[in-house]
Amino acid sequence: MRWFFLSVIVLSCFASSGQRCGADEGFKELLKKDPALIDKLKNLGNLSGLNRPVGTNETFIIPVVFHVLYLDSSEVSEIDIRLCLKDLNDNFGKKNLHFNEIIPEFKGIADSAGIRFVLASKDPAGNCTSGINFYEDPAANWEELSPTNFSHTWNSRQYLNVYVPQSVKKADGSYIGGYAYLPGSLPPGDQRDAIVVSGNLLKNGENLFYGKETLTHELGHWFGLLHVFGYVNEAQIDCYGDDYVSDTPPTRGFYECPVSQKDYQFCQPGVSENFQNFMDYSYCRMMFTQGQTQRMRNVLTSTIRNNLWTSENLAFTGGAEPLRPCVTNINLNVFPNPSALKTNITFELPYAQTVVMNLMDLDGRIVFEDKIGATAGWNLYNLSLAEIPQGIYILRIKTSAGTSTMKLLVRRGFF
Ligand SMILES: [Zn+2]
């Protein structure tokens, strides 16, 4: 679990032309303190995949929640978010409309990541949600590393959290388009384990290309990818940065989109650079390579991210496909009630799942608990009360629809 002892690694990204990100000073400081950080970054692609599905064509479904922050009224709409999500899925599924524009040198290794993003329909308490939360927040304009950021995060082992503050400013006063933390660089449960995209890029469809591609780019970081020009935030420095992916050639990175071959064969004559890669800074980003998608899938199947896509987690978050209706009322009933030695419990579920049932006395003590493999539709459970003392109890059933409760009276003798 050495990953959890890593210091925080932050990668910031430029927003649009004129809004470049600077090299991250914090990262340089980390390197001074921990030179082994480079090896740890390199090994992100070699993590052993646990619980990896058998076969090669699996699609990992990731439940997503957006947290949109605003001062007076949000300029980012739900429609903007949904458009971005569609584009995100096109990018990760190699379906984007620009695919035919990939230069021949890279067309053969452009790859689908096999990752699909779905808005969560259940919040952590089991309530129905659109997966897009709007918060009026006096701190909606973020300072990049402010400790007050990330106050709305839902468990990052269950949800991919996307923050959309109005803007993000670096310590030097410049604005950036977003940032993200590399997997394993934060302690488990840290609220910062999320990605950030500035609302300036998403609002009302303005700059939507940058917004959508920035979202894709930040997710690349969250799944373990570095910039194709290495672990700094500044492109056009030198040819020696490495992203530890074998099929992305050495490059200085690009802010523009070169037309002439000599301009994109700068580092090694005759070797084209992948300026169209989502992990570069150009405005024509449109692909991941096979090496990058393999690295992302290795991270996704490692212990850092391997809970997100399990069927249990998709049931919990309501992110399962085909989309299932969010149901909060399971029509819980108990009869007879009051009861002496046994009672019958019925409830209705939209789909099969494991539910937890318990009885709690009025002092909050759990006197009985069971896990039940419940089916879709009506369920009947016969509860024996022979070992339960007389008294008043709260019957609780925890399902993907939330927790339902009823009062149960256990009384012996005549009634
Ligand atoms: Zn970046």
Ligand 1 centre to CA of 240 (Å) is: 17
Ligand 1 centre to CA of 411 (Å) is: 64
CATH class of 333-410: mainly beta
Ligand 1 centre to CA of 193 (Å) is: 15
Ligand 1 centre to CA of 154 (Å) is: 23
Does 1 score more than 50 pLDDT?
Answer: no
Ligand 1 centre to CA of 277 (Å) is: 11
**Mean pLDDT score of the chain, rounded to an integer?**
83
Ligand 1 centre to CA of 323 (Å) is: 32
Q: Which of 89-98, 152-161, 400-409 has maximum average pLDDT?
A: 152-161
Question: Comparing 376 with 410, which gets the higher pLDDT?
Answer: 410
Q: Which of 43-57, 207-221, 393-407 has the lowest mean pLDDT?
A: 43-57
The pLDDT confidence band at residue 392, using thresholds 50, 70 and 90, is very high
Using H for helix, E for strand and C for coil, what is the string for the chain? Answer: CHHHHCCCCEEEECCCCCCCCCCCHHHHHHHHHCCCHHHHHHHHHHCCCCCCCCCCCCCEEEEEEEEEEECCCCCCCHHHHHHHHHHHHHHHCCCCCCHHHCCHHHHCCECCCCEEEEECCECCCCCECCCEEEEECCCCEEECCCCCCCCCCCCCCCCEEEEECCEEECCCCCEECEEEECCCCCCCCCCCCCEEECHHHCHHHCCHHHHHHHHHHHHHHHCCCCECCECCCCCCCCCCCCCCCCCCCCCCCCCCCCCCHHHCCCCCCCCCCCCCECCCCCCCCCECEHHHHHHHHHHHCCCCCCCCCCHHHHHHHCCCCCCCCCCCCCCCEEECCCECCEEEEEEEECCCEEEEEEEEECCCCEEEEEEEEECCEEEEEEEECCCCCCEEEEEEEEECCEEEEEEEEECCCCC
Question: Comparing 369 with 28, which gets the higher pLDDT?
Answer: 369
Q: Give the mean model confidence (pLDDT) for residues 292-302.
A: 88
Largest Cα–Cα separation, the chain: 95
Ligand 1 centre to CA of 179 (Å) is: 7
**pLDDT computed for residue 410 by the predictor:** 95
pLDDT digits (tens, 9 = 90+) for 159-203: 999 999 999 888 888 888 888 888 877 778 889 899 998 888 877
Ligand 1 centre to CA of 202 (Å) is: 17
Does 141 score more than 90 pLDDT?
Answer: yes
Percent of the chain residues past pLDDT 90, beyond the cut: 44
* Cα(323)–Cα(336) distance, integer angstroms: 36
Q: Give the mean model confidence (pLDDT) for residues 84-93.
A: 91
Ligand 1 centre to CA of 219 (Å) is: 9
Does 53 score more than 70 pLDDT?
Answer: no
The pLDDT confidence band at residue 11, using thresholds 50, 70 and 90, is low
- What residues contact residue 5 under an 8 Å CB cut-off, 6+ apart? none
Does 41 score more than 60 pLDDT?
Answer: yes
pLDDT digits (tens, 9 = 90+) for 234-274: 788 889 888 889 899 999 999 889 999 999 999 999 999 99
Residue 206: C-alpha distances to residues 141, 196, 199, 213, 226 (Å): 18, 18, 10, 13, 27
Ligand 1 centre to CA of 222 (Å) is: 10
Ligand 1 centre to CA of 233 (Å) is: 7
Q: Give the mean model confidence (pLDDT) for residues 293-322.
A: 86
**pLDDT computed for residue 270 by the predictor:** 94
281 within 8 A of 19, measured Cβ to Cβ = no
Does 343 score more than 90 pLDDT?
Answer: yes
Ligand 1 centre to CA of 226 (Å) is: 7
Pairing of strands 195-197, 333-335: unpaired
Ligand 1 centre to CA of 252 (Å) is: 14
403 within 8 A of 126, measured Cβ to Cβ = yes
Q: Give the mean model confidence (pLDDT) for residues 299-311.
A: 89
Query: Is 2-317 a CATH 1.20.1050.10 domain?
Result: no
Ligand 1 centre to CA of 213 (Å) is: 11
Q: Give the mean model confidence (pLDDT) for residues 36-64.
A: 66
Q: Which of 18-22, 291-295, 380-384, 403-407 has the lowest mean pLDDT?
A: 18-22
The pLDDT confidence band at residue 52, using thresholds 50, 70 and 90, is very low
* Cα(214)–Cα(22) distance, integer angstroms: 16
The pLDDT confidence band at residue 19, using thresholds 50, 70 and 90, is very low
Token pair in block for residue 12: 């910031």
Ligand 1 centre to CA of 230 (Å) is: 10
Whether pTM > 0.85 for this model: the answer is no
Pairing of strands 115-119, 342-349: unpaired
Does 286 score more than 50 pLDDT?
Answer: yes
**pLDDT computed for residue 79 by the predictor:** 85
Question: Comparing 239 with 400, which gets the higher pLDDT?
Answer: 239
Ligand 1 centre to CA of 324 (Å) is: 34
* Cα(210)–Cα(4) distance, integer angstroms: 32
* Cα(356)–Cα(340) distance, integer angstroms: 23
pLDDT digits (tens, 9 = 90+) for 345-379: 999 887 777 899 999 998 889 999 999 999 888 89
Token pair in block for residue 115: 């990752």
Ligand 1 centre to CA of 332 (Å) is: 49
Please calculate the CA angle 183-252-227 and round it to the nearest 5 degrees: 10
Domain boundaries, the chain: 2-317, 333-410
Ligand 1 centre to CA of 166 (Å) is: 19
Ligand 1 centre to CA of 13 (Å) is: 4
266 within 8 A of 239, measured Cβ to Cβ = yes
